[in-house]
Structure 1
């Protein structure tokens, strides 16, 4: 397929790459983009995941939970997808979170998180321990992010919808061990996937993106602890947004570049493309589509040096008056109906920090506190458990997706795939056992949602907005 590229872009890449490499680079735009899946290890490993899908896979070198699939496959139609066993993700987009490699218990921020690929990958590394803050400034995209976090069953994520600088107001300076900034960029690496990105590109936009990226990194500097680690990534080839941003951080005297030790990535940052010949950028990684089976990316990993000056909040950014919080801590009396529900279905939750807002019960992740909910806009500050109705408690779909079958006694396992698809369509299911009341509906042991058993039927409580029309 022949793709028309912006003339200024081709001229600039010719100057950067030289004639011989440019030819191979341009030819890569005529190839079909690769498609990938990444196993959700909160539920299943890569081998287990690939055993539950009906198409061929090949391992992705730099992500031990990732797999290539053929471009014509439709992974979003599978039961394993609805069970949250994998995330559909462009292969090279798996590199930034793999490079950051957070450890369970750490405080991690994904600053530009939607649609959720990197957030859900970070969550797998954290194993639902510690705090994962996923921020998205665009409200509609933040909702997509929340939906993906829900499907993957992530219990320790807090989702915010604020400008990056407002995160300092919420969490305070030096509050994160690791930060991922997959920065908004000119998107040159996505040209063969997205015609709209090609048509919107200009050299002026490249310069504007670079200015925004530097501004965003000023906020990162406030939020990151001394000794903490930052992964900065883009999906563009522009040196102004890649090597020169890393050079900007190094020349600030506060950051050192770390090597990225992942296989299958032959190209690195180019010191010749910096302003002052910064040799440290050679430890960053470039993903060039004529050399790697993936779209174009740039990834750099940096450590904030321990002797960095103490961070301070930006002047004039803090709110003079805190807004009244919708959230309050749940009392024993508040939890009466939830406790009754838990006893009825045999639910076991090893969590205790319950908060309530507008009759919705949520459990906060470790390291997130009630008074922080007074600041900013929260899409979801933790794991939404359910809603209090008049005299009863109704569990949320989010809770269903975060559970494992050994956490609850009331479970129904679909007899076959056809019955599971019928459930996803919203159809009632025959109650062939002695089930009564709320029931976790499982496909091969993996939750798909809730049902409510009464008599000979299980009423369908799969969310209407997620229901499918056909297989």
Structure 2
């Protein structure tokens, strides 16, 4: 294997150490590494595959590795991650022969450690090559089997089984290991969806229309981020579940809208586009830097109806009078347990306490923002998580405390046909699972203020 390929594995090892042991956010650390090393497209794709694949399956790889290691053996963290990323390649990357993976791992071990470590790495990987990997179906306990097989913590698997049942949980965990399709949202004030698809197809990028958003496009083949339409801000990269939020807000031109937790701005700009950039969207975020990201995104898309600012959503009554807004969006801070395909490190770093603490914040935001909506106005609540404590239970509690609000029944009639029967939905809103239509896990509901 070439020196360049060795270098990719070394970069991957550094990234995994930063994410796995130093708490770095996977998507940010990978982006930084790609920008720093200026890799060829193919090498960048391989690096991303190795890092994300190893992270996604870390617990599974650790279970596999345990078979070949003396429990008393102490290992440096970099050695452990080197074995993980090597075993991931041996198990899941067919184009790379095992002997080449082992050779590179041994070379890296020599470079970073000493001959003894190199010999140890060689021995472990050759044993794995010779004996093969674990048959997880032999694990009797269902929670442990799903946890090991799909690399999700046992507490999370157990929690989801209690909330949604074994079948839905196992499918969700399996889907969280799969590659997510690339989807984009056309800027309709600059071009039409059909025109953009035609332009992409003419340039060798295979694309098709989304079934859930009339602005959505699914990229089936090709790098759309290298296309001139991206440079010219003809579209925004956005997951289909995320697109549904603005689609289901019942927006109209000329409205006054509040986006209480707006960064990074995908939904904010979608709201403005749905309103033909006519009206006003007040977009706030707790952090000034993130609020600036929203402003920058609006500017790049040539949207002038968005006013951004830094503010805690729980203090927006200090900025706006009661009954000000026609529509409000609370895209609430959440655990992010619906976006594990894009951010696999989340599943290892969250706890049940995090879920409970965030649910309290979600309650506080809803309570504080509720008076800002005018009578007969509509409030949309969304999260990118799949946990009932952050979704159904938050809405149920809010409605009990706010009799002036009710779930807007028309919302359920407006859900796209492809999503009418999602298994997690309830009287409180629509729960989308990652397996429903190959998108992020999301919860969306719409409330009506009736007095």
Secondary structure of the 2:313 match is coil
Task: Give me the whole-angstrom Cα distance separating, in 2, the residues matched to 1:153 and 1:175.
Answer: 26
Q: 1:245 aligns with which of 394, 399, 403?
A: 394
Q: 2:415 aligns with which of 262, 267, 272?
A: 262
- Cα deviation for residue 82 of structure 1 reads 2.2
Q: 5+ residue gaps in structure 2? A: 1-52, 58-150
- Cα deviation for residue 30 of structure 1 reads 2.1
Contact 1:34 1:91 (8 Å CA) reproduced:
no
- The answer to whether structure 1 residue 223 and structure 2 residue 368 are counterparts is no
Mean CA deviation greater in 147-156 or 27-36? 27-36
2:336 maps to 187
**Root-mean-square deviation (Å):** 1.7
Contact 1:109 1:178 (8 Å CA) reproduced:
yes
Task: Point out the structure with the larger helix share.
Answer: 2
- Cα deviation for residue 270 of structure 1 reads 4.9
1:109-156 CA-to-partner distances (Å, cap 9, x unmatched) read 111111111011101111121111111111221222111111110011
Q: 5+ residue gaps in structure 1? A: 272-279, 308-471
- The answer to whether structure 1 residue 299 and structure 2 residue 444 are counterparts is yes
Q: TM-score normalised to the size of structure 1?
A: 0.60
Task: Give me the whole-angstrom Cα distance separating, in 2, the residues matched to 1:16 and 1:244.
Answer: 12
2:128 maps to none
Secondary structure of the 1:63 match is coil
Pairing of 1:44-443 with structure 2 (within 5 A): 44-53=191-200, 54=203, 55-70=205-220, 73-251=222-400, 252-258=402-408, 259-260=411-412, 261-263=414-416, 264-265=418-419, 266-267=421-422, 270=425, 280-281=427-428, 284-305=429-450, 307=451
Q: Which has the higher contact order (CA 8 A, sep 6+)?
A: 1
Task: Give me the whole-angstrom Cα distance separating, in 1, the residues matched to 2:423 and 2:166.
Answer: 19
Q: CA separation of 1:140/1:74 partners in 2, compared to 1, >3 Å: closer, same or farther?
A: farther
Task: Give me the whole-angstrom Cα distance separating, in 2, the residues matched to 1:268 and 1:178.
Answer: 28
Task: Give me the whole-angstrom Cα distance separating, in 2, the residues matched to 1:270 and 1:67.
Answer: 25
- The answer to whether structure 1 residue 35 and structure 2 residue 182 are counterparts is yes
Q: 2:162 aligns with which of 15, 19, 24?
A: 15
Contact 1:234 1:298 (8 Å CA) reproduced:
yes
Task: Give me the whole-angstrom Cα distance separating, in 2, the residues matched to 1:117 and 1:178.
Answer: 17
Contact 2:164 2:424 (8 Å CA) reproduced:
no
Secondary structure of the 1:291 match is helix
Task: Give me the whole-angstrom Cα distance separating, in 2, the residues matched to 1:108 and 1:143.
Answer: 19
Task: Give me the whole-angstrom Cα distance separating, in 1, the residues matched to 2:437 and 2:229.
Answer: 28
Contact 2:380 2:446 (8 Å CA) reproduced:
yes
